[in-house]
A = this chain, B = another copy of it.
Amino acid sequence: MEYLVDLGKRAKSAATALSLLGQEQKNEGLQAVANALVANMERILKANEVDVARAVEKGVKESLVDRLRLTEDRIKGMSEGLLQVASLQDPIGEVTGMTLRPNGLQIGMKRVPLGVIGIIYESRPNVTADAFGLCFKTSNAVILKGGSDAINSNLEIVAVIQEALASVGLPQDAIQLIEKTDREVVKQFMKMNDYVDVLIPRGGAGLIKAVVETATIPVIETGTGNCHVYVDQHADLEMALSIIENAKTQRTGVCNAMESLVVHSAVANEFLPKLYDYLKGYGIEYRGDARACAAVKEFEPATEEDFYTEFLDLIMSVKVVDSIEEAIAHINEHSTSHSEAIITNDYAASQKFLQEVDSAAVYVNASTRFTDGFEFGFGAEIGISTQKLHARGPMGLLALTTTKYIIYGNGQIRK
């Protein structure tokens, strides 16, 4: 606990210093760190080799080892990411809506940093640099807790960042890593309300659930996506094929990939066999309700659980409905409120779907794969919020800020 309180105090003090920096100083810092990552590539790769070797030895599956692995290109990518963040507009300091009240008070809302941000993530070491860049650009100090299998890589990356900050006279404690990875320390960390303003978990559903249940610090939930595509009776079926192919197969392991297909019964018997043929090459496993299975004999029966599941794999649940109302009710019941799409040429259906589906991003005639800070034009992304407080959907720099009211008076008292 003493260890964490020390981290917390350092972070708070760094946050105060960061809040006083101008944009030019911050961008200079980002530039210095971007250069240092490339200049210290060997050091970082060497530390990463230790982590990778240990993971291979432990028999971790190749897709996870791949997430852990750094290469020259990946480190260059981290460096370029920081330069890109440096080039973005800094939201801090803007004052909006300054109004003059009848009593002469001038009240405005000023955009300010959150303060200290805690980020808990899994094994991708590039998150270390990405998260730092976004937090630093918005004048926030960050305390990182990465996965234990990436500890050597993370330690080295953080050391390089801290050295680079110090070299241009900026506070090193703008980024700190929790080096002790046992569970009790992490649990305590999630309750440090006096030192940490917000906690952002990045990772799988299990990690996020654990954080939501344990933390007393305000949490921004990110990322789980049981995304639906609904093929309406008035859909352009060719468009539906192409959008489903993209949403399901372009990248299967990401949160905005499609997991569940909902089809209107008026087109199910025509569309489902067509879809099955169209996507044959991908080896997708379909889990359908009774009518879906009747339409395509290769489909397997779905359990109720399947309709709640984010597969992150070449598996798709399929539900046949008799109306758009039934489709919307099914989606609102089973989705994780991430991204959903309707394929239709019917005006009323499109408006109804946009209005009534209760998710962070609701699409008409487009792939759910677009739910992403870069695709939305934010230039950066710290995660995709699936909760309703503070930020919903892709979170860019603005999501890492808050506001305060500033009030100019000349002696006003309340009557």
Q: Mark A274-305, 1 if CB is under 8 A from B, else 0.
A: 00000000000000000000000000000000
* Copies of this chain in its oligomeric complex: 2
Shortest distance between the CB of A327 and any CB in chain B (Å): 14
Shortest distance between the CB of A210 and any CB in chain B (Å): 11
Bound CA–CA A355/B21 (angstroms): 11
Shortest distance between the CB of A373 and any CB in chain B (Å): 11
B361 near A388 (CB under 8 angstroms)? no
Q: Taking A216-B213, A218-B218, A366-B409 as contacts, is the C-beta distance between A402 and B414 under 8 angstroms?
A: no
List of B residues within 8 angstroms of A354 by Cβ: 110, 406
Q: How large is the interface on A (under 10, 10 to 19, 20 to 34, 35 or more residues)?
A: 35 or more
B367 near A412 (CB under 8 angstroms)? yes
B375 near A101 (CB under 8 angstroms)? yes
User: Which residues 75-131 of A have a CB within 8 angstroms of B?
Assistant: 99, 101, 105, 107, 110, 112, 114-115
Q: Mark A394-407, 1 if CB is under 8 A from B, else 0.
A: 00000000111111
- A1 at interface by CB-CB < 8 Å: no
- A360 at interface by CB-CB < 8 Å: yes
B405 near A388 (CB under 8 angstroms)? no
User: Which residues 360-380 of A have a CB within 8 angstroms of B?
Assistant: 360-367, 369-371, 375-377
- A411 at interface by CB-CB < 8 Å: yes
List of B residues within 8 angstroms of A198 by Cβ: 388-389
| Chain B residue at minimum C-beta to C-beta distance from A215 | B216
Shortest distance between the CB of A317 and any CB in chain B (Å): 20
- A220 at interface by CB-CB < 8 Å: yes
Central interface residue in A243, A370, A376, by most chain B CB within 10 Å? A370
A409 near B364 (CB under 8 angstroms)? yes
Interface residues of A (CB under 8 A from B): 16, 19-20, 99, 101, 105, 107, 110, 112, 114-115, 193, 197-198, 212-213, 216, 218-220, 236, 239, 242-243, 245-247, 250, 332, 354-356, 358-367, 369-371, 375-377, 387-390, 392-393, 402-414
A-B contact pairs, 25 of them (CB 8 A): A16-B332, A20-B355, A101-B376, A107-B376, A115-B358, A115-B388, A197-B389, A198-B388, A246-B413, A250-B413, A359-B404, A360-B404, A362-B404, A362-B405, A362-B406, A364-B407, A364-B409, A365-B408, A365-B411, A366-B411, A367-B412, A367-B414, A370-B412, A388-B402, A392-B404
